[in-house]
């Protein structure tokens, strides 16, 4: 027979000192750190696959990986400033710039078709919004008449 009280290690931990939004932001920042480390792993692997790998570049990327790993170890859920910095730095590192100049004319045509459909949907939404406003006005009028 197992002593459940002795095995339940969570019972002694107590309540967390951070909120759910702080915990979520922390986890997102940690994911950004893991993505950054993976990004440098990809660069290292690609460089090592070349005929003559650049040892200095590989060493620099490994140093970046270590720096990101250290940031992850130092991060806490209550340090919102550090979390914001990590998220911004990871976003800057990992974001991809889109070059609109290379688009084919066919893609531009399809975008125009999509915008027409969006306009129809928007007008449907506007119509339904108007009816909601009318209903609200009627309810307000009824409430005033009762009082």
Using one digit for the tens of pLDDT, what is the confidence trace for 94-115?
998 777 665 555 555 444 455 4
The mean pLDDT value of the chain amounts to 77
Give, in order, the Cα–Cα distances in Å from 111 to each of 104, 107, 123.
11, 6, 18
In sequence order, what DSSP letters do the residues of 4-19 get, joined into one string?
HHHH--GGGT---SS-
Give which of 75, 95, 97, 96 is closest to 86, Cα–Cα.
75
pLDDT at 14 > cutoff 90:
no
């Amino acid at each position: 027979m197992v002593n459940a009280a002795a095995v339940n290690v969570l019972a002694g931990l107590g309540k967390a000192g951070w909120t759910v939004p702080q915990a979520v932001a922390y986890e997102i920042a940690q994911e950004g750190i893991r993505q950054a480390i993976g990004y440098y792993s990809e660069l290292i692997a690609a460089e090592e696959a070349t005929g003559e790998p650049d040892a200095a570049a590989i060493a620099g990327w490994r140093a970046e990986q270590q720096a990101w790993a250290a940031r992850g170890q130092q991060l806490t859920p209550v340090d919102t400033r550090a979390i914001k910095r990590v998220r911004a730095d990871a976003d800057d590192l990992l974001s991809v710039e889109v070059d609109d100049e290379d688009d084919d004319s066919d893609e531009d045509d399809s975008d125009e078709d999509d915008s027409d459909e969006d306009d129809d949907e928007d007008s449907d939404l506007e119509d339904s919004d108007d009816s909601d406003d009318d209903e609200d006005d009627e309810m307000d009028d009824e409430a005033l008449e009762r009082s």
